Chain A
Amino acid sequence: MREFVYERPTTLDAAVAAFAGGGEAALIAGGHTLLPAMKSRLRQPDTLVDLAGVPGLSEITRNGDMLWIGAMTTHATVAADPTVTAAILGLAALALLIGDPQVRNRGTIGGVLANNDPSADYPAALLALGGTVETNLGSHDVDGYFQGMFATALSDGEIITRVGFKIPKASAYAKFRHPASRYAVVGVYVAQTADGVRVAVTGAGPGVVRWPEAEEALTASFTPEAAKGLVLGGDLNTDIHASAEYRGHLAGTMLARAVAAAA
Chain B
Amino acid sequence: MPTTLTINGATAAHDVSPATLLVDLLRDGLGLTGTHIGCDTSQCGACNVLVDGRATKACTVLAIQLDGASVTTIEGLASGETLHPMQAAFKEHHGLQCGFCTPGMVMAGLEMVRRHGHDLDEATVSHELEGNLCRCTGYRNIVTAIAAGAKAMAATGETTHA
Contact = CB atoms under 8 A, between A and B. Distances in A.
A35 B131 contact: no
B55 A105 contact: yes
Interface centre among A5, A38, A103, A180 (most CB of B within 10 A): A103
A99 B131 contact: yes
Contact of A101 (B42, B67, B128): B128
Interface string A15-48: 0000000000000100110011011000000001
Contacts of B42: 32, 35-36, 103
Contacts of A63: none
Contacts of B1: 6
Contact of A1 (B19, B115, B130): B19
Interface residues of A, number: 29
Contact of A100 (B21, B41, B115, B130): B130
B84 interface: no
B48 to A, nearest CB: 6
Contacts of A182: 130
Contacts, number: 73
A39 B43 contact: no
Contact of A36 (B41, B67, B128): B41
Given A32-B42, A36-B41, A180-B43, A1 B61 contact: no
A102 B128 contact: no
B19 A3 contact: yes
B45 interface: yes
A50 B55 contact: no
Interface in B126-151: 128, 130-132
Interface of B: 1, 17-19, 21, 40-43, 45, 48, 51, 54-57, 60-62, 64-65, 67, 108, 111-112, 115, 128, 130-132
Interface of A: 1-6, 8, 28, 31-32, 35-36, 38-39, 48, 50, 52, 76, 80, 99-103, 105-106, 180-182
